Amino acid sequence: MKFQFLRAACCLAALVWLLKADSFEDLAARATSARAADDIPHAIELYRQALAINPKWQEGWWYLGSLQYDTDQYAGGRDALAHLVELTPDAAPALGLLGLCEFETGAYAQALTHIQRSLALGAPSQPQMDRVLRYHEALLLAVMGNFEEAIQKYSWLLQHGSGNPTVVMSMGAAALRSPVLPQKAPTEQQALYTMAGKAVAFTMAGDVNSAEQTYTEMIEKFPQAMNVHYLHGCFLLNAHPEQAINEFQRELELSPANPAAAAMLSWILMRRGDLQLAMPYAAKAVEGAPKLAIGQMVLGRLLVETGTIDKGIQHLEIAERLNPGFLGTHLSLATAYSRTGRTEDARRERQLSIRMMKEPTPVAQP
């Protein structure tokens, strides 16, 4: 009797499993049909039901997540795509779309991680999707305070034909070191970001006259806006160093705690040999923004040049970790290591510097 009951139970379980399998196939087919017919709400519901039966259905997670993204259901899209990434960790398109959903839900750190992972894997085959991901990468870098790298990413977008007004305005916000989403800024602030973006774009294109004209108009219209004089000073840095000094000093008059302006003023004073005058500005920059690579580099180099070599090396090594792509840091480290007898370290930094000098230099503000 017990044996017969067990056999009946097994048969019932098998029947339930078969019914569920049929149900899954039916739901999957109906979801596909609804999606093809552009009946998106119905398709989303059918995909949900099918995935409840078969949570390892990768195609289902992709379509559920992408449909939710397309209909602005970002939290749901994030969760669906996270399931897909858990099943296939190197699925570049899913990683990219997951990052975009996370961006829309305010999870900026996770969004940047997933977008950069997607791009590193060679993400999308569609150029439009590639540009969307690269734009959001630049935007997120700026929002998280990595303005120098953000400008490099915006430069790539401009060079590859993505110079639309939104990109230009966002690049301007990054150039002004504003860690905000520019689209959410007040209208007047958006106008400022757009002018700054145009000035930087003209500079990148080598149109110095148009850049200077735009800077002049921007300063006339926004004379006290934070980092306007700093940005103009960066533009003047090489061709008109004395004017650049005046702009950095003006910025510090308006924003005494501005570490970027202090770092750049220290940098230009160091370049003309005023080491003692440069030192307090460099120390101020590092104190105000320990993660500002240019500040760490300038302070490190000043300490090396004034004889406090070991401490200078510590700051230079911090600068190298913060921004491995800055040639000046590697050259300074090579000199500092040589002076302390660290021959192998000095040779490594010189060789790296030579390789970097042979590579195309990305256009970016300091």
pLDDT along the chain (366 residues), means of 10: 38 42 85 96 97 97 98 98 97 96 97 96 76 96 95 93 91 96 91 97 96 98 98 96 97 97 98 96 97 97 97 98 94 96 96 87 44
- Global confidence as pTM: 0.87
Domain 17-125 has CATH 1.25.40.10: yes
Segment 106-112 long-range contacts (CB within 8 Å, at least 24 positions apart):
107/78, 108/140, 108/143, 108/144, 109/144, 111/136, 111/140, 112/137, 112/140, 112/141, 112/144
Map out the domains of the chain as residue ranges. Answer: 17-125, 126-225, 254-366
Judged by DSSP in three states, 340 sits in coil
Which CATH number describes the domain made up of 254-366?
A: 1.25.40.10
Q: What is the CA radius of gyration of the chain?
A: 27
pLDDT at 128: 84
Are domains 17-125 and 254-366 of this chain identical in fold?
yes
Q: Give the number of other CB atoms < 10 A from CB of residue 57.
A: 20
Output the CA–CA distances (angstroms, integers) from residue 192 to 81, 175, 208, 268, in the order listed. 37, 11, 19, 26
